[in-house]
Structure formats: C-alpha cells, structure tokens
C-alpha cells in the first residue's frame, strides 16, 4: 500500500499516511461496537511515525479495554467520525479506521480479533484468521 489520505466526514480533520501497514483487521470487542454503532471496527495498524495530521485536531477518549490495557479512540469533535485508535501498551503503533480513508476500498481484511465478543448477528469472514481475544500481549 503506497501513500494514502483520509479524514472525517465534515472535512475538519485530514491526515496522510506514508507507511506500509503492519496489520489490517476487524475488532469485535465491545468498545469497538460502541464506537462503530454496533458492528466491528475495521482498522489498519501501522507505525505511528507514518501518520501525519494535515488539518484539524481530533478529540480523544481513553478507556480501559477488556484486556486491561488503556486504549484511545480519536474522532472528529464536529461530526463524530471515528478516525484512529491507539493502545498505551504499543505507543509506536497507530490504527486508522478504514471508513476514514478517502478510498476505503484499499482496506484488505487480514483477520478478526475479539470474536468472542461478537454479537450473534455479526457476520465474521470465515476465510480470515480469527482470534477469540487480542493475540498480542497487553492488547
């Protein structure tokens, strides 16, 4: 994946990415269900240094995840678009919400995490790798 751009629905926040993804997947944890409006969160994880905010400043909400880790969710304070997520246990990694990409079709599902928290009506890709929880320690 080459450089790409994204932002929020109202245009108040824009970003550029100049790094290759480390992972791309769907998270079915309860916190992501809240943030997405009920479904999983689709995100691309990459080195934090590869993400540059070019316009605006997102609001950030920190919470304790089911794993016990502190997790931040970044969103537009004007329109509410989910933009990024980060885990305090992995400060060098930043996750970008697939829906915030200018071209979300670039997202390629690599796997699913926290499928043990998925709702019965969630459709989980049977061909993708699945993890009942987060496979990374402290995640």
30 is a domain residue: yes
Q: Would 31 be classed as within a structural domain?
A: yes
Q: Is 75 helix (H, G, I), strand (E, B) or coil?
A: strand
Task: Work out how many domains the chain is built from and give that number.
Answer: 1
Q: Distance between CA atoms of 66 and 134, rounded to whole angstroms? A: 10
- Round to whole Å and give the CA distance between 123 and 125: 6
Q: Under 8 Å CB-to-CB from 105, ≥6 apart: which residues?
A: none
pLDDT at position 1 is 54
The CA distance from 123 to 138, in Å, is 26
136 assigned to some structural domain: no
Question: Average pLDDT of each block of 10 consecutive residues along the chain (139 residues)?
Answer: 88 95 92 92 94 97 85 96 93 94 92 94 93 75
Separation CA 42–CA 97 (nearest Å): 6
**Structural domain that includes position 85:** 4-130
In-domain check, residue 139: no
Within-domain flag for 74: yes
Q: CATH number of the domain at 48, please.
A: 2.170.150.70
Question: Within a domain: residue 138?
Answer: no
pTM of the predicted structure, to 2 decimals: 0.89
């Amino acid at each position: 994946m080459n450089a790409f751009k994204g932002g929020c629905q109202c245009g108040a926040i824009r970003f550029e990415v100049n790094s290759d993804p480390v992972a791309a997947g769907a998270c079915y944890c309860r916190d992501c269900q809240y943030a997405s409006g009920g479904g999983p969160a689709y995100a691309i994880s990459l080195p934090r240094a590869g993400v540059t905010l070019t316009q605006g400043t997102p609001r950030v909400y920190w919470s304790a995840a089911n794993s016990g880790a502190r997790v931040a969710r970044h969103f537009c304070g004007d329109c509410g678009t989910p933009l990024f997520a980060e885990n305090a246990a992995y400060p060098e990694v930043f996750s970008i919400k697939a829906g915030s990409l200018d071209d979300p079709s670039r997202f390629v599902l690599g796997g699913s995490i926290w499928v043990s928290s998925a709702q019965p009506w969630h459709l989980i890709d049977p061909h993708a790798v699945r993890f009942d929880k987060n496979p990374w320690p402290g995640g």
